Structures are given as structure tokens and as C-alpha cells.
Structure 1
Amino acid sequence: MIHLPDRFSRFQPRETLARTQVLERGWPFFLDLCIAAIGLACFYAVIRIAMFWAGRPEPEIVVSLSPRALPHYAFYSIVRIGLAYLLSLLFAITYGYIAAYNRRAEKVMIAILDILQSIPVLSFLPPVMLAMIALFPTRQLGVEMGAIVLIFTGSVWNMAFSFYSSLKSIPKELMEATSIYSFSRFQRLFQLELPYAAIGLIWNSIMSVAGAWFFLMACEMFHLGSRDFRLPGLGSYLQTAADAGNGAAITWGLTVMILIIVATDQLVWRPLIAWSDKFKFEQVESSKRVTSPILHLITQSTALASLARHTLTPLTENLYPRLAKRRIEKIHQLATVKPPSRMRVIAVRIVVLAIVTAAVAYASFQAIALLRPLHASEYLHILKGALATFLRVNLALLLASLWTIPVGVAIGSNPRLARIAQPLAQIAASVPATALFPVLLLALVRIGGGMGIGSIALMLLGTQWYILFNVIAGAIAIPSDLKEVATLFRFSRVQRWKTVILPGIFPFLITGLVTASGGAWNASIIAEYFPIKGQILQTTGLGAIISEATGGGQFPVLLLATIVMALMVVTTNRLVWRPLFRLAETRYKLGG
């Protein structure tokens, strides 16, 4: 809030000064009341969710297409996506941290991450849903947890890749400074690693939540063999409206979804983006800063300021020195304690390796037994579908890169443009393409196209945003002093792109391409197999095979198609993306 100097107060009427003083005293109190109201609303939401989830599972929920049911459905979808995001954030930080600092486990963990991000949501569906229902057979919680885990599997992998790549690109001198000042792992995480990774993690969080909205229709309404699972939510509402061909209901559902996305952008993402701007690795402060009225209001709250001053600040001031002292004592103890014998370490490794080998051998034997009934014609059909989907995925990546790289750099380099374009991009990324697909398909049929072109278009709609949001994050993270040097030496546009922009966004671009590739394979289950008005529109591809096998309960075909998809993605990552990741960690790593 702006305070006028005393010498200007005599030019102010007394009534104006009194009104200003009242506002200055009353505004923080009003903010505290708003925060208290939000807290009470969250508490009420927890009670409502607990009551619903603790109840008995409903055998078959009838989804109403009345607009009056939308607030109720929107509430449940927001809760599912919110819990899935928190689970994704915790997993991404834990998994990325271990993979970045444990060299022995790094290769295995990244390979597992490659495999998991390539497995479509519907391939997780049977084991996840059956396991959750078995854990909670008499409660609605089982089906709800299954849907939350399915949303988690469709949105977590790009966050894990982002945090991992950010940790690998931390400047060496910053890591050395934490060692000199005896930072504990906990202190280094909260004072260096999380702040350094904040920009990429926030933008990938936006993409993850958008991806959750994209796959919401598949996670809230699906078939598993002869069983029909439906949950009250926006996804099931849109899916039911699309199946019925009800354009008015689709419009209502998309309108509510867009309103939620805009509100989330203004209340959550925009303040976080403005807050993370201070973590840019630069030596000259930029004159162009991202601003957020909500963040400004939060910083004016006396209740939050008092909570931070009397709770968080004393806690960290007492905790960090103790952790540093404990770390120094631990280092001295390790220096004096005799290390375990080499034979003992080898014996432990052999035992662990034997257990892992036995588990893998047992799982492989069970998989082979499940695949035994398949014929050679089915193998050929799956390989043919894999080749078709592979071509579509790479074509979609090429088309996406052609427009997302220049547009993402423009948005990330211009805060004024970002204020307008970022919410629009988030809305476009979050709207389920399956809800728009009937209109898109009809348009393609009229101009002579079909499911072959339509599947590429739908795949593009679902994956281009991974590249766009990562490029935006990369453009924002480019230090301002590098941009000013380019201006000072009057770089041409080509020189600026070659020496500043492309090297600056390169680590983020590779993360976006890797996750977009996995997302394209994942989106193939929807792009290549689409039910509409009682009929199935499909084209040759692995996604169509997986969707058809899931709906028909053909678990051998589902397993084989999933294995082939995972192998193709892992092979591509090993031959293409992994060398590019190493290049990003070495040649294009920021350093002082």
C-alpha cells in the first residue's frame, strides 16, 4: 500500500485522510476474515467428502445431465484432481531427488520412469481399480481411490522429469556453497533445490493439472469387463453428454470447467508464478516482473504474517543449526567408525539382487503364461498397430514443436503477454479433447479426412501443451543479464536465438519433448478408439488395441500391447532423449 509523505498531507482534505486511515486499518482485517472463511469452507469440504467416501459403494450411479447437478459434480472432480496433484507432487520430489543423487539407482529409476510414463491410463485401470476395491470392498472410498490413482498416473511423470532435470542442472558453485556452510539435506532441499526447481515445477504442475482434466473423462467413467464404473463428476458428465450427443450439456459442462480453470489460474497458479520469479538464477534484476494481485493481498494479511513470524521463522532458525550440527557430528563419526567389511557389503548386495531377480523371474513367468494363448496373427496385428502409432506420435511431436517453441518463448519473455496468453493456454490444455472430438471428426469427414487424420489431431491436442509450458518455463528462467548482454552487443534475431534463447530453454525443451512423447503414446488410447452414439470409431494402432482389450476384458492382449508400447518408448528414450538429456546437463548448464 502506498503511503504519502508527510509534506503532501497538507494538500489532502481531512475527510480524505481520515478515509485513507480507516482503509489502511480495516483492509488487513478484511483479508484475515477472508482467509478464515476459506479455512472454514475447506473444513466443510473435508467433512462432505469424508461422509460420501465412508458410505457404501453405489452399484451404478446415474449421471444427470441437468445443469443443476454441475456444482455438485464439479466439487467432487476438483477434490479428486487436487488429491491426485498433491500425491503427484510428493512422488515427483521424492523420486526425482533419489534419481538425481543416487548414481547407482539413477539409470534404473529413469528407465522405470520412461516405462511408467509410456503406459496408458487404461493399462493401469484393471490392476489399480481391482486392488483398491479389494482394499475397501464395502466403502465408496475404494472406487474413489482408484480414480485418484488413475488421475495420478496420467499427470505425475512430467513433474518427476522436471524436478530431476532441474536438480541435475544446479550450478556447481551453489552446491559447493551448501557444502561449505554445512547445509543438511533438509536445509539444502528447502533453501536451494526446491527454489531452483520452482519455475519448472510450477509450470509442469500447471500441465499436470491440465492433463488431469484431459483424462478426467476416462477416469470417472469406464468399463472393466462386464462391470460399469461411474463416479459423480465433471468427467462422467461430459462423457455421458458426448455419448448422448447432447450439445447443450457438453456446452454447460465445458463452461463450468473453463470457469474452474480460470479461477484456479487467478487464485493459485498466477500467485505461484509471481512468487517463483524471485528464484531466477540471475545477477541483474529484470525490469519486467510477473505480478499478481492475489499474491499482493496475501502478503498484506496480518494473520499470515503473524503466523510466519511467530511459528515458521523461529522453527527454521532453531531447526537448521541443529541439522547442520548433527550433519557435522555424523561426518566425524563416519570418519572414526570402521567401515563394514567388503565381504559383508558384497553379501548384502547378492541377497538383494537374488530377491529382485526372483521377483522379476516370477512376474515374467506369469506374464508368459498369460500370453501363451495368443496366436501369431495377434502378434502381427499388435506390431502393425505399434508401427502406425509410432508414426502418428512423431508426426504429432513435429507439428507441436513448430508452433510451441516460438509461441512459448514469446509468452515467457513478455510478462504482459503472459498475463493474457497463459490462462488461455491453460484453458485450451485442460479442455478434454474427447468432448470436442465429435465436432472435429465431423469437420474432418466433411473435408475428406477420417480417423487417421483425426487421431493425429486429437493426439496433438493432448500433447502439444507439454512442450509449450516447458518452453515458457525455460524462457522465464533465462537470466536477465544474458538478455541485456544480447541487447548491449546488438545481436540480430538469429544470433539471439542461437546464442541465448535456444541454449537457455534447451533443458526445459528436452523435458517437454520427453513428456510430450509419453503423453502422445498415452493419448493414443483415446485418439485411436472413440465411442460415439452407440458406435465405435477406430483406426489401426496400439491405442485402439488397448482400449478394445480393456473394454472386452482381454487381458492377454492388453498385457502384450502394453509391453510393446513400453519397449518402443524406452528404446526411443535410450537412443534419442537420454543423450540429449546428458547434453543439457553438461553443455547447457548455467554456471557462474
Structure 2
Amino acid sequence: MMSAPHVGSFSDCLVVAGILAVFGLVGWLLPSVGAPIGPDGMPSTVSTDLRNLPYYALRSVFRMAIALIFSLVFTFVYGLAAARSKRLGKVLIPLLDILQSVPILGFLSATVAIWLALFPGSELGVEAASIFAIFTSQAWNMTFSFHRSLLSEPQELDEAVRNLRLTRWQRFWTLDVPNSMIPLIWNMMMSVGGGWFFLTASEVISVGNRDYALPGIGSFVATASAEEKPGKVACAIVTMVLIVVVIDVLVWKPLTAWAEKFRITNNASETPKKSAVLTVIRQSHIDKWIATLLTPIKDGLDRVMRVFGRTGARWTAPAKRRRTGDLVFDVAVGAIVVFGAYQLLSSIAQKTGFDELGHAFGLGFITFLRVLLLTIVCSVIWVPIGAIVGMNPRISRFAEPLVQVLSSFPANFIFPFITMWFVAWNIDINWGSILLMALGTQWYILFNVIAGASAIPNDLLEMTHNMGLSTWMRWKKLILPSVFGSWVTGGITAAGGAWNASIVSEVVSYGRHTLTADGIGAYITQATAENNGMKVLIGVVVMAVFVVGANRLFWTPLENLADTRFALN
């Protein structure tokens, strides 16, 4: 039997080798990322030589990782500001609703010229535009999840950090982040899945009448589909499955197993989650190395961040002054909104007329019906399944990897084959697009419900068994109320994701076959192809109105209900 020191030494070697491999790959990829654009410009397609697939896959994974890092930073800053400031929350959360409703083509149309101008003559401009597009498909649901975790922190823990007089910086790392870790990791997984879903749109970028194709597995699929090469599309799908499985083994399984220590429960999990990678890391001395490197930095940051005060130590203005300040803030925000709406309507009236706006709203209502039907059906299917997976470690051990692989796989990679099926069976794309939208967005509900069910304290579950409650009563009194808030978060992001997915689900093509559904997604896609900026703007505004309206009228009351009646605190 191998002795403990030998195990530690072997684990150290594996960890060091892994770190060196990551840095080596990054160092190998960086020169090509910032390569100068040649005299012929960037190509509009990529080679479909199968020997390039491994390199394309690494480029795509690299973009996804960079976008995820920026998304995590954005999540912490934006979510904390919205949760800790009542005034900022009034603006930031509705703004987040709008941001998640803007499709990726809307962000690209508005920003790609800026990125190209920032990095002239270099592929870095197109890379930055692509990474930003992936960021816009990742950040919003992570931010919603973190914000909800901040609002639902257990009261006794909040009182503990106040009594300990921790600084706001210390509170962030000792309570805010640990309390949000389980749902945040699940939403990070979902964000990566969303990034894969829009990979083709983010790697083949249109500016005016020019197309820029970056080396990547998404652009490979786009080119192979346009050239009607199903065999090469199938090879890309196999490569994508391998990527998803490797990322699951090396990243997500270790993270979900590690996050179990943040569960709020009096009893340990009956069957703790395991990960071979996490076991190797724990057997190594990497924690000591990191502590040695980061402790001086941590101590320095603790001292610097004291200027922001301690938790709960804030000066409270008189009630009359607070009301006056709130009124001034609301009036200022309202004036800005009214001025922006006036300018927008004036531009529409001058350039296209309000008839075009009415036509777009009609198409938006059709897409709204698709999103509504999709949300209802996916909730009925995935809420009970997600709760069962999240509450049962034995089931979770086998189901979670499968769920992670399915959710991370870019469903639009199989759209060419589904398009062939629709054409062969004469399936109306107006109905078929609902299936295509669901393939990429149903996982938001499932992931959030799994995370919510995983956070149910084991002692509460054991109590329901000891009390002899029937299965139905256990679900009615504990399980469904416990996952209600998570379902709301998943529903918001699933609905927002479905609206975004409409741009790639309402117009699908394979070779010379193109199927177009009636809807605002198809409207935006066609306007982008025609380089009609005003129509793109109208489509984005209409989509934002529907998403924000649904959130204000439906999801916000449900969020309030989850906070007041169904929070585990």
C-alpha cells in the first residue's frame, strides 16, 4: 500500500503538471489570438479539414474561459451593488432584465465596430467582439442567481457577521460568496452551456457586408453546414461531446463536490459527492502553496478595504431626508427613461414609421406565445426531476454528469440534422422552432431546481420522514416551497434565454434549405443579414419590452413571494 508521503508527492506532480499544461496551452494560443490581419483581410469561412478540429476546439474553449472569468467578475460587482443599495437595485435589476432580453446579434451589431476600432489591423478586435458576445450569453443568469442568494441569506448568519464586526470585504468572502456557491456553480455550468449554444453566432461575425470567421468549432460547423457536409458536422459533434465530458471531469465535478462544504445543514450528506480530480488536489500541497502566496495579498486587501466600513455600520439619514433623496433619484431616473424613449420613438417615426413598430410587436407576441408554452412545459417536466436529483446524492452522482453533458452541449450543432428532418417530414417551423428553443433553454430550470433541492437541509428531510408525512405532503409542505425560489430564478433565465434563442431557432438552414418562422427572432436575424440597423434596433426594443413586461407583471411578484414565504432562513 502506498504511504501517505508518496501519495502526496504523486499528487503534487499531477497538480504541477496540470498547471504547467494550462499555462503552456495559453502561451501557445496567445500569439495567434493577436495575430495581425494580412493584406487579404480575415476570411469569411474556415477550413473544414478535420485535422484542424483539435486546434479549433482549443480556440473555442479559450474564448469560453475568458468570457466566463469576466462574467464572474461582473456577477460579483453587479449583483452586490444591486442587493446592497436599495436605490441602485431599482435601476440595476430592471436593467438586467433588459440586458438579458437583448439577443447576441443586438450586442454584436452595436459593439463590433468599437472592438475593431480599438484593435485596428489585428485579429484581437474580432476576438474581443467574439468574447464579448459569449459574455453576453453567460453573465445575466449568473448575476440573477448571485443576487437572489444575497437576498436570501440566513438571518442568523447575517447577525453573526454583524456581531463579529466584519468589514464589508470580509463579509463578502466569508458569507456572501460561500452562501451563493452551490447555485452559482450550477449557473456557471448553465452559462457555459449558453455560451456553447451561441458559439456559431459569436465566431462568425458580420459587419456591414463583411463576414469575419474566427478559428473555432462553431465556425467549423457553420461552414460545414453551408457546404452540406453532414459527415464533418457529425465529427464536430463528436469533438464537442469529448470537450464537454473532459470539462465536466476536470472542472465541474470537482467544483460541485467541493461546493458541498457550503451546504447549510446540521447533518452531513449521506453519500458525499466525489471527484478523482478533487481528491488529487486535496492530497497535494497546493493549498499550502496558495496560502503562502495569497496570505500577504489577503492581509493587505483586508487593511485597504476597511475604508468601506464594517457590516451594519452605516450612517442612517433622517426619514424625511431619505424620502426626499428617494424621490429625487426616482424623478431623475424617470426623466432619463422618458427622454430616451422620446428619442427612440422620434428616430423610428423618421426612418421607418410606426407601422413597422406595430408589425414587430405582432411578431413579438407570436414569439411570446412560444416562450410561454415552452416555460410551462419545461417546468412541469423538469421541476420534479430536478428536485429528485438534487435531494438524492446517489441519484445525483449518476444523473448530474449526464445533465451537465446534455446542458453543455450546443444544441444548435444538431440543427442541420433537425432541419433535414423538418424538410423531409414537412414539419411547420412555426411549431418546430419551439422544440429548437427548448433544446437550449430548458436546462436553466433544471439546473436551478437541482441547486435549490441540493441546499435543502438534510435534517428537514429527515424530520418529514420521522413525522410520517406522505410523499405528497412532503412535496407540498417542504420540497416544492424549498425549490420555489430556485424555480423562479430558473424560469426568469429560461424565458430570457428562450427569447435569445429565437434568433437561431426561428431561422434554420442547411445548405440550400432555409426555414423561417414568424417571430421577432427571425425579424432580427433577417434585419441583421440586410444590415438594417434601425430594424435591428426595433426588434431588440420589442423583445426587451416583452421580456421586461413579463418580468414585472409575472416574475417579480413570484420573486417577492419566494422571498417572503418560501425562503430557507
Identity %: 39
C-alpha distance 380-290 of structure 1, shift in aligned 2 (>3 A): same
Q: Name the residue aligned to 1:14.
A: none
**Alpha-carbon distance between aligned partners in 2 of 1:423 and 1:401, rounded to the nearest angstrom:** 21
Q: Name the residue aligned to 2:292.
A: 310
Counterpart residue type for residue 531 of structure 2: G
Deviation at 1:376, TM superposition (A): 4.8
SS at match of 2:534: helix
Q: Name the residue aligned to 1:454.
A: 432
Deviation at 1:361, TM superposition (A): 3.1
1:499 counterpart = 2:481:
no
Conserved? CA contact 1:132–1:146, under 8 Å: yes
SS at match of 1:253: helix
SS at match of 2:509: strand
Residues 142-193 of structure 1, C-alpha deviations (whole Å, 9 max, x = no match): 1100000000111111100000001100111211111110011111111111
Range with greater deviation from structure 2 (167-176 or 420-429): 420-429
1:210 counterpart = 2:193:
yes
Q: Name the residue aligned to 1:29.
A: 9
Conserved? CA contact 1:271–1:295, under 8 Å: yes
Deviation at 1:394, TM superposition (A): 0.6
Q: Name the residue aligned to 2:48.
A: 65
Q: Name the residue aligned to 1:167.
A: 150
Counterpart residue type for residue 26 of structure 2: V
C-alpha distance 75-532 of structure 1, shift in aligned 2 (>3 A): same
Counterpart residue type for residue 53 of structure 1: V
Q: Name the residue aligned to 1:438.
A: 416
C-alpha distance 82-371 of structure 1, shift in aligned 2 (>3 A): farther
**Alpha-carbon distance between aligned partners in 2 of 1:126 and 1:159, rounded to the nearest angstrom:** 24
1:189 counterpart = 2:195:
no
C-alpha distance 536-329 of structure 1, shift in aligned 2 (>3 A): closer
C-alpha distance 422-147 of structure 1, shift in aligned 2 (>3 A): same
Deviation at 1:316, TM superposition (A): 5.2
**Alpha-carbon distance between aligned partners in 1 of 2:425 and 2:509, rounded to the nearest angstrom:** 21
Q: Name the residue aligned to 1:79.
A: 62
C-alpha distance 174-49 of structure 1, shift in aligned 2 (>3 A): same
**Alpha-carbon distance between aligned partners in 2 of 1:114 and 1:328, rounded to the nearest angstrom:** 31
**Alpha-carbon distance between aligned partners in 2 of 1:322 and 1:568, rounded to the nearest angstrom:** 44
| Aligned with residue 472 of structure 1, among 445, 450, 474 | 450
**Alpha-carbon distance between aligned partners in 1 of 2:470 and 2:330, rounded to the nearest angstrom:** 58
Deviation at 1:80, TM superposition (A): 0.3
What TM-score, normalized by structure 2, do the two folds share? Answer: 0.92
Q: Name the residue aligned to 1:148.
A: 131
**Alpha-carbon distance between aligned partners in 1 of 2:321 and 2:143, rounded to the nearest angstrom:** 36
Residues 282-324 of structure 1, C-alpha deviations (whole Å, 9 max, x = no match): 122232221112111101102x133145344576578758967
1:560 counterpart = 2:538:
yes
1:221 counterpart = 2:201:
no
SS at match of 2:211: strand
Deviation at 1:105, TM superposition (A): 1.3
Aligned runs of 1:521-532 on 2, under 5 Å? 521-532=499-510
Deviation at 1:507, TM superposition (A): 1.0
Q: CA RMSD in A?
A: 2.8
**Alpha-carbon distance between aligned partners in 2 of 1:73 and 1:322, rounded to the nearest angstrom:** 43
What TM-score, normalized by structure 1, do the two folds share? Answer: 0.89
Aligned runs of 1:573-588 on 2, under 5 Å? 573-588=551-566
Q: Based on CA coordinates, which of the two structures has the bigger radius of gyration?
A: 1
Conserved? CA contact 1:441–1:450, under 8 Å: no
**Alpha-carbon distance between aligned partners in 1 of 2:552 and 2:76, rounded to the nearest angstrom:** 23
C-alpha distance 321-380 of structure 1, shift in aligned 2 (>3 A): closer
Conserved? CA contact 1:524–1:544, under 8 Å: yes
Deviation at 1:248, TM superposition (A): 1.2
Conserved? CA contact 1:282–1:480, under 8 Å: yes
Deviation at 1:126, TM superposition (A): 1.2
**Alpha-carbon distance between aligned partners in 2 of 1:376 and 1:320, rounded to the nearest angstrom:** 56
1:50 counterpart = 2:33:
no
**Alpha-carbon distance between aligned partners in 2 of 1:439 and 1:344, rounded to the nearest angstrom:** 60
**Alpha-carbon distance between aligned partners in 1 of 2:63 and 2:310, rounded to the nearest angstrom:** 43
Conserved? CA contact 1:128–1:150, under 8 Å: no
SS at match of 2:212: strand
Q: Name the residue aligned to 1:519.
A: 497
| Aligned with residue 462 of structure 2, among 480, 484, 490 | 484
Paired residues, number: 565
C-alpha distance 329-274 of structure 1, shift in aligned 2 (>3 A): closer
Residues 244-303 of structure 1, C-alpha deviations (whole Å, 9 max, x = no match): 22111111111111111111111111111111111111122232221112111101102x
Range with greater deviation from structure 2 (560-569 or 217-226): 217-226
C-alpha distance 314-410 of structure 1, shift in aligned 2 (>3 A): same
Conserved? CA contact 2:419–2:508, under 8 Å: no
SS at match of 1:469: helix
Q: Name the residue aligned to 1:411.
A: 389
Q: Structure 1: give runs of 5+ residues left out of the alignment.
A: 1-18
**Alpha-carbon distance between aligned partners in 1 of 2:210 and 2:418, rounded to the nearest angstrom:** 30
Q: Name the residue aligned to 1:158.
A: 141
**Alpha-carbon distance between aligned partners in 2 of 1:54 and 1:215, rounded to the nearest angstrom:** 23
Deviation at 1:464, TM superposition (A): 0.3
1:243 counterpart = 2:221:
no
Residues 62-107 of structure 1, C-alpha deviations (whole Å, 9 max, x = no match): 4121221011101110110000001111111111111111011112
**Alpha-carbon distance between aligned partners in 2 of 1:53 and 1:209, rounded to the nearest angstrom:** 21
SS at match of 1:155: helix
